Chains A and B, each alone.
Chain A
Amino acid sequence: MRTDAKICGMGHSMKRKEDPRFIRGKGNYVDDIQLPGMLYMDIVRSPHAHAKIKKIDTSAALKIPGVLAVIDGPTLEKYKLHWMPTISADTQMVLPIDEVMYVAQEVCAVIATERYIAADGADAVEVEYEPLPVIVDPLKSIAPGAPVIRKDKKDKKDNLAFHWEAGDRAATDAALEKSDVVAEQFVYVPRIHVASMETCGCVADFNSAEGKLTVYMTTQAPHAVRTVFALVAGHVGLSEERIRIVSPDIGGGFGGKVPVYPGYVIAVAASVVIGKPIKWIEDRMENLQADSFARDYHMKVRLGAKKDGTMTALSIKTIADHGYTNASANPMKYPAGLFSICTGAYPLKNAFCEVDAVYTHKPPGGVAYRCSFRVTEAVHAIERVVDVLAQKLKMDPAELRMKNFIAPERFPYKSVLGWEYDSGNYPAALKKAMDIIGYEALRKEQKEKRARGELMGIGVCSFVEIVGAGPSKDFDILGLKMFDSAEIRVHPTGKALARFGTKSQGQGHETTYAQIIAEELGIPASDIQVEEGDTDTAPYGLGTYASRSTPTSGAAASLAARKIRAKAKTLAAHLLECSEADLDWEPGRFFVKGVPGKGKTIQECAFAAYTNMPQGMEPGMEATHYYDPPNLTFPFGSYICAVDIDRGTGEVKVRRFVAIDDCGNIINPMIVQGQIHGGLAQGVGPALYEEIGYDEDGNVFGGSFLDYYVPTSLECPKWETDHTITPSPHHPFGAKGVGESATVGAPPAIANAVVDALSHLGVTHIDIPITPEKVWTLLRKAGAAE
């Protein structure tokens, strides 16, 4: 570490600056906000997956004292706000006019003086529906002749939202044809939900005297929301300079708080019409059932290899279930996200992937849930099929991976599907994981247990992530380029204020950004105040999701700080009456080369910027940087877990979980480790517990915490984490993003472990979530159940 504990730059496990308010219960979350005259909104939702709305009877609701209004589709239609664009340039209903398209869809909204009265009002609204035929199976939806779901789209004759592909189909098919061995596997990654502990909500406050709209909302991308509101509601008088979006403290985002949900728009419209602040806080069932979703990829995966295990070709055909509209948060050029990272850690010479996105009667989506963009799906596909291949070749799965890994000398490495991986050392990470877990000993134990009829498995996953979207030449969301920003101002007394275009939802930006700046300027991190989330003051950015803050705003912070340091050097030279060429730098101080006693601290330079500038220098000490990343960053890792299976019940117990992660240079090891722990828990969840599903009428299961199984402290094992460090060559301080690695790497490791435990019984695959019943069914079939 270049700085001492007082300055606390890169590498220090600095205790978090945001903690003091949270441990005292003094966080400021959206539902904590109370404004004078504030009203409450509650939404009436559809119990049907597809139905005509025959009648909405609000008479009983409006009779309840305190119920002020009911807002429906026709009301919004008057302002042309009943439909809105999605962030994938599709369209979505805010409130329906004639038809509902998914269970829990918003039908109308009740505005009342109190929260409890709004609930009574919503309960009293009577809606008459005529149920219509429902399509929930994407394979049925895409079949020729299926009824068209999006009748609102003129000339649409099918249910295809988009088709996207990457790679050379013909060459890949030919290569697979020529391969000695082809491992083929259907892999389904089911629908799940971010289920952050805080649900979504807002307080929309339109000040009619000033024509200014302020919306406090749970959003990970406040500037993008502001611009979208201005574009969508410009015709009703909202103008971007008079829209202020404020993200206060957010209780977990994980990608689920990126989309603009109908509830926000209805609340804004209500505030504009009524002229009072409107609070809307969804409850958990609304959150799980209506707010988008993640994953839901049906994939046919084929991996070819020579008989010695050298991989030759990869082909993946995917049907993506998008619900009734494509509201996914993917960059425009990549509607299936960064799925083409599916070649993973292997130097495949031939690859092809295609995604057909399909409409169904389900909530719109999906969100990028702690996966960058579709990377969980891609990694699950490749890491699962690699194990299928290993089983076919009767090779150890770790050995097969080691044999194939892109060699460390080959970086930057251009994959056949077009990504330039910045740096990587996959063998080192896997070897470290194997050493720490004691791989050989586990294999020995497995052999002994098998002889006794006990079931134990070891699962390996070596993943490559792709984060930090993204370079402007390829990345935009609704046209907005995916740069990000930092603005730093140093005060006369040498303290600093720094603002960013990102928005933390728990990642610790108030600490890590301060550490980055402390590293560059030598100002103690404790003297640097970090702010995010208020669009009136923060510089423009695309927000925080897809592990992009460190790669983008973090980079911007260091580059802005370097601009300030350059100015400080000029000031130091002026104060020391020497030339800049005579000066050296140590953290926090310029000094004359060879005369260490003769120097000026950064604080002295800051003071001089206001009191003693050289002739002709612009006063003040501040800098802004908008960073357009030249490339994404490619964190990676190897995870190994050991599981034990109960032959009577099929229950899977994760005995050990070792995670080796590489995110390049580490800003705060304590925070990075925390990110891994959390991501691992959100990986165990989908692997063993979490799923949202639908019966053929479109009724949902997993729509409340009663049956959406979020792991507790008893379901999570004791994580064992460590790291390797392979810096990113293009990032200003060599760092990569890390927040999502564990959610990406954990599910395949666990799935591979379970299959490994059952492989001697002829089992070759199991889809997540791996429920005890799924395991038991396989044991039964193999005659091995207790």
Chain B
Amino acid sequence: MKHKISVTVNGAVREAEVESRLLLVHFIRENLRLTGTHVGCDTSHCGVCTVQLDGEPVKSCTVLAVQADGRSVNTVEGLEQGGKLHPMQEAFTEKHALQCGFCTPGMLMTASALLERNQNPSEQEIRQAISGNLCRCTGYLNIVKAVQHAAEKMRAA
């Protein structure tokens, strides 16, 4: 019941032997010790576990690690490149889009994926895109503003 997997995580190939039932979120947090991705529920609702699987934001608590074999996974730790923060990370601080920080990594992965697809999303499109990520602290408005701000910055760059 164990399988050898090879997953490209934040650009680096990581290999491991894992149980079939190991959830991707636990592979990331415990095998790889990347604890930025969080666990918040047990019914696949909250989205704090969101990572990008081949560029698409998905709930890593509802993906098996074996399903990521041969694929690429990007987590929040991979957003900062060469000491430079991703514009979305800067925008979140700029616009006070986080308070306790627990939903933040998932939000960042969903929001940055959105801007890859849609460089100028409307407020409604942003709210729709992050509707699978729950937040209890911010009331969402500043998160929307942060995404708009990041989009503006990235379009200008």
The interface of chain A, by Cβ under 8 A from chain B, is 15-16, 18-27, 29, 31-32, 115-116, 194-199, 249-252, 254, 281, 283-285, 505-508, 670-671, 673-674, 676-682, 704-706, 710, 712-714, 716, 718-719
Contact = CB atoms under 8 A, between A and B. Distances in A.
Contacts of A706: 43, 45
Nearest to B102: A251
12 contacts: A22-B101, A249-B100, A252-B99, A252-B100, A284-B40, A677-B140, A677-B142, A678-B139, A705-B45, A712-B130, A712-B132, A712-B133
Given A25-B75, A249-B100, 12 more contacts: A19-B93, A23-B108, A32-B29, A198-B38, A254-B136, A283-B42, A284-B41, A285-B42, A676-B139, A679-B139, A713-B144, A714-B128
B98 A251 contact: no
Contacts of A713: 126-128, 130-131, 133, 135, 140, 143-144
A713 B141 CA distance: 8
A680 B131 CA distance: 17
A16 B93 contact: yes
B19 A116 contact: yes
Contact of B42 (A16, A22, A673, A704): A704
B17 interface: no
Contact of B21 (A116, A252, A508, A718): A116
Contacts of A716: 139-141
A695 B58 CA distance: 35
Contacts of A26: 36, 77
A26 B36 CA distance: 6
B127 A714 contact: yes
Given A197-B40, A705-B45, A19 B141 contact: no
B118 to A, nearest CB: 16
Nearest to A685: B136
A19 B35 contact: no
Interface residues of B, number: 58
A506 B99 contact: yes
Nearest to A720: B141
B37 interface: yes
Contacts of B75: 25
B100 A198 contact: yes
Contacts of A705: 41, 43, 45-46, 134
Contact of B101 (A18, A677, A678): A18
B134 A251 contact: no
Nearest to B36: A25
Contact of B136 (A24, A252, A704): A252
B148 interface: no
Contact of A195 (B19, B136, B141): B136
B141 A704 contact: no
B30 to A, nearest CB: 8
Interface in B76-111: 76-77, 79-80, 85, 89, 92-94, 96, 98-105, 108
A199 B104 CA distance: 16
Nearest to B22: A116
A116 B36 CA distance: 20
Nearest to A286: B42
B39 interface: yes
B134 A710 contact: yes
B32 interface: no
Contacts of B93: 15-16, 19-20, 23
A27 B105 CA distance: 10
B24 interface: no
A714 B99 contact: no
B122 interface: no
Contacts of A251: 38, 40, 100-102
A706 B141 CA distance: 24
Contact of A197 (B22, B48, B96, B128): B48
Contacts of B101: 18-19, 21-23, 27, 249, 251, 506
Interface in B45-66: 45-46, 48
A23 B104 contact: yes
B137 interface: yes
Nearest to B89: A23
Nearest to A198: B102
B34 interface: yes
A19 B100 contact: no
A197 B45 contact: no
A258 B35 CA distance: 25
Contacts of B135: 197, 681, 713
A377 B14 CA distance: 53
B147 to A, nearest CB: 10
A283 B144 CA distance: 29
Contacts of A25: 34-37, 75-77, 104-105
B67 interface: no
Contacts of A18: 101
Given A22-B104, A25-B35, A284-B43, A681 B139 contact: yes
Contacts of A704: 41-43
A32 B140 CA distance: 25
B96 A670 contact: yes
Contacts of B139: 674, 676-681, 716, 719
B119 interface: no
A249 B36 CA distance: 12
Contacts of A710: 45-46, 134, 136
B76 A19 contact: no
Contacts of B85: 23-24
Contacts of A254: 136
A331 to B, nearest CB: 26
B96 A196 contact: no
A443 to B, nearest CB: 26
A199 B48 CA distance: 12
Nearest to A196: B136
B62 to A, nearest CB: 13
A16 B38 CA distance: 21
Interface centre among B36, B42, B98, B139, by most chain A C-beta atoms within 10 angstroms, is B139
A716 B143 CA distance: 12
Contact of A719 (B29, B41, B102, B141): B141
Given A24-B76, A32-B35, A508-B99, A198 B43 contact: no
A678 B138 contact: yes
Nearest 5 A-B pairs (CB), nearest first? A25-B36, A251-B102, A506-B100, A22-B101, A677-B139
Q: Which among B94, B130, B142, B143 has the highest number of chain A CB atoms within 10 Å?
A: B142
Which of the listed residues A19, A285, A670, A676 has the most CB atoms from chain B within 10 Å of its own CB? A19
B76 A678 contact: no
Nearest to A32: B35
Contact of B36 (A15, A24, A195, A680): A24
